[in-house]
Amino acid sequence: MKLGRLIAVARGKARADLILKNARVINTFTGDIEQGNVAIYQDRIAGVGDYNQARQVIDLRGDYLAPGLINGHTHIESSMLHPSGYAQAVVPRGTLAVITDLHEIANVCGSDGIKFVMEQMQELPMDMYFMAPSCVPATPLETSGAELDSEELRAIFAYPGVLGLGEMMNFPGVIAGDEQVLDKIAAATDKVIDGHAPGLRGKELNAYIAAGIMSDHESTELEEGREKLQKGMYLMIREGSSEKNLEALLPLVTDKTYPRCLFVVDDRSCVDLLREGDIDAVVRKAISLGMEPVRALQLATINVANYFRLRGLGAIAPGYKANFITIPDLTHFHIDQVFYHGELVARHGLPLFPVPGLSRELTHTVHMKPIAPGDLRVTTSQETYPVIQIVPGQILTRKVMARVKTVSGEVVPDFKQDIMKLVVVERHRASGNIGLGLVQGFGLHRGAFASSIAHDSHNIIAVGTNDRDIMRAIKEIEALQGGLAVSDEGQILNSLPLPVAGLLSLSPLEETVVQLEKVEAAVASLGELPPAPFSLLSFLALPVIPELRLTDRGLVDVTEFKLLHPA
């Protein structure tokens, strides 16, 4: 871009490349709506005002013009989409910038996974920024496919588009002053450092923030979010596929607090992206819950840009990137046209850009030791046993000591109490580690289902009513080299291959969505299951979310940060 030419266009002394005229321009700095024409030179905004001379003029006929939406925290791997498929899903929804923490693919493939996504995004019409994964692995209580220490993180900080340190999930390590954890934080000096502090309050929260951590997206209750705001954190209000905190936290957004609040999705499936949307769905829901539309847009644009220090994003103003969305009606917030760098890239919810060929890198990442039938036996001599209790609508779980059903000392599923067997099989190093536990709340009446998406180390996780179907589903995942599988009476009802790192599909967006919907229909046929059962299952192996989890190394009490029943 020639700066002198941009200045001349801004002064009205040179012709613009594009003018969007008769726009109602949303000013995210002031919260106002201004009538005017927007002049664009190459990929930049020259100005807003009385501009008329351009190579191309598009009459918006009074539609609202807003800056492109920014997703401030997501793990794109949770969409199950190849990066090109991800862009196909979110760009037509108005998401033109994403800050992603690639700790999912990094836990499988290390820095090679990060480089893979970076390379795949280069030809796509959206800006992707990265947070260096802080927790690979998330904790020492699980086995991952890679490890990233502070020295490797320093190297990653030099990669293009890396903004800072991704969510510090090992909050017990921070609070305890773990040397390796603190070395990672020290490596990110003067950079943005994201947090992850579910349920943390009082002096422990003080200690966590004092380490330099700046944000949190794990608040689920009003007072928890209020305390984090009061103590100086940026509050990321999350509304994903399985984590829905918007309604509970929205009252915290006031005229005093809103600059420190932003919308995020964290994890959103390809089905939800295609059917409901991305950040646009969060904005739409916030408006439906009573938030003023321009304020909702601020939480999805300028507030995100300010927190991440992204100059040129989040507003329609001179010198800013020409990333826009047009909206006929703010109340319903359905996006019509999407412009990236001054080029029309989507209209009426459909992408207008070519999709590059899908790379087949990072396949064949499932390496398991053979499983024998007896390997899945859970035994106890006690009347009670720790059970992971699902909390509806949340990824938090409860630790309950339940009277379990046994036969000759072996714990068996209890349909009356809805207690089923949970299994995590290590799949990176063929170590033979198998974690065994019990879970309450899946509503299974028969069969089993399994997944190679198991946050954050992504071993194979399965839940079921009997060992035969659990083993059948696990073996299907191994044969697919990653994916989702549903079994019943020893047969596979349906499956979805995810061969890239065991996380991502090689199929196009709509084909992946159809496949996922079929698998979800198959698992729904097994009983009275909660919404998004695969997503819910994937978090039961995450030993940084209270209260009780299962990894390949055993049952983890997250509150005590220790193994209760080692594998």
Residue-wise pLDDT tens digits, 101-113: 999 999 999 999 9
Check whether residue 55 and residue 84 sit in a common domain. no
Predicted pLDDT of residue 419: 97
Residue 163 inside a domain? The answer is yes
Q: Which of 199, 185, 78 is nearest to 135 (CA)?
A: 185
Residue 342 inside a domain? The answer is no
DSSP-assigned states of every residue in 245-271: -HHHHGGG--TTTGGGEEEE-BS--HH
Predicted pLDDT of residue 561: 87
Distances (CA, A) of 492 to 324, 356, 448: 46, 33, 10
**How confident is the model over 221-231, as a mean pLDDT?**
97
Predicted pLDDT of residue 63: 98
Query: In the structure, what pLDDT confidence band is assigned to residue 383 with cuts at 50, 70 and 90?
Result: confident
Predicted pLDDT of residue 544: 87
Query: In the structure, what pLDDT confidence band is assigned to residue 1 with cuts at 50, 70 and 90?
Result: confident
Which of 394-408, 425-439, 534-548 shows the highest mean pLDDT?
425-439
Query: Is pLDDT above 90 for 394?
Result: no
What confidence tens digit (pLDDT) does each residue in 500-517 have? 999 999 999 999 999 999
Question: Domain holding 29: CATH number?
Answer: 2.30.40.10
CA distance 260 to 547: 28
Domain limit, last residue, from 29, 62, 95: 62
Predicted pLDDT of residue 218: 94
Question: Quick one: what percent of the chain has pLDDT higher than 90?
Answer: 91
Number of independent structural domains in the chain: 3
Q: Which of 486, 423, 421 is nearest to 459 (CA)?
A: 423
* Whole-number average pLDDT of the chain: 95
Check whether residue 197 and residue 235 sit in a common domain. yes
Predicted pLDDT of residue 359: 74
Query: Is pLDDT above 90 for 357?
Result: no
Query: Is pLDDT above 80 for 134?
Result: yes
Contacts with 464 (C-beta within 8 Å, 6 or more apart), sequence order: 413, 420, 421, 423, 444, 447, 448, 449, 470, 473, 487
Predicted pLDDT of residue 324: 97
Query: Is pLDDT above 80 for 393?
Result: no
CA distance 435 to 422: 8
Predicted pLDDT of residue 216: 97
Q: Which domain holds residue 471?
A: 373-566
Check whether residue 279 and residue 229 sit in a common domain. yes
Residue 255 class from Cβ within 10 Å (0-12 exposed, 13-18 middle, 19+ buried)? exposed
Type of residue at 76: I
Cis peptide before 127 (omega within 30 of 0): no
Check whether residue 384 and residue 482 sit in a common domain. yes
Check whether residue 261 and residue 389 sit in a common domain. no
Distances (CA, A) of 188 to 136, 217, 358, 494: 16, 19, 33, 44
Check whether residue 58 and residue 76 sit in a common domain. no
Check whether residue 426 and residue 522 sit in a common domain. yes
Query: In the structure, what pLDDT confidence band is assigned to residue 395 with cuts at 50, 70 and 90?
Result: confident
Angle, vertex CA 33, rays to CA 29 and CA 37, nearest 5:
100
Check whether residue 117 and residue 250 sit in a common domain. yes
Q: Are 404 and 378 in contact (CB under 8 A)?
A: no
Q: Radius of gyration of the chain from Cα atoms?
A: 24
DSSP 376: G
Question: Domain holding 103: CATH number?
Answer: 3.20.20.140
CA distance 502 to 481: 6
Lowest mean pLDDT among 136-140, 160-164, 291-295, 391-395: 391-395
Q: Which of 510, 67, 499, 487 is nearest to 271 (CA)?
A: 510
Domain limit, last residue, from 268, 290, 309: 309
Query: Is pLDDT above 90 for 392?
Result: no
Cβ density class 369-388: b for 16+ within 10 Å, e for less:
eebeeeebebeeeeeebbbb
What confidence tens digit (pLDDT) does each residue in 400-425 have? 999 999 998 999 999 999 999 999 99
Domain limit, last residue, from 290, 309, 328: 309
Q: Which of 180, 179, 129 is nearest to 156 (CA)?
A: 129
Angle, vertex CA 473, rays to CA 470 and CA 475, nearest 5:
105
Predicted pLDDT of residue 193: 98
**38 versus 359: which is more confidently predicted?**
38
Query: In the structure, what pLDDT confidence band is assigned to residue 355 with cuts at 50, 70 and 90?
Result: confident
**47 versus 393: which is more confidently predicted?**
47
Run of H or E residues at 56: strand 54-59
Residue 409 inside a domain? The answer is yes
Residue 283 inside a domain? The answer is yes
Cα–chain center distance at 516: 17
Predicted pLDDT of residue 360: 78
Check whether residue 442 and residue 533 sit in a common domain. yes
Check whether residue 56 and residue 77 sit in a common domain. no
Check whether residue 14 and residue 73 sit in a common domain. no
Residue 214 inside a domain? The answer is yes
Check whether residue 150 and residue 293 sit in a common domain. yes
pTM: 0.92
Query: Is pLDDT above 80 for 182?
Result: yes
Cα–chain center distance at 561: 24
The side-by-side arrangement of strands in the sheet containing 548-551 is 548-551, 554-557, 562-566
Predicted pLDDT of residue 258: 98
Query: Is pLDDT above 80 for 344?
Result: yes
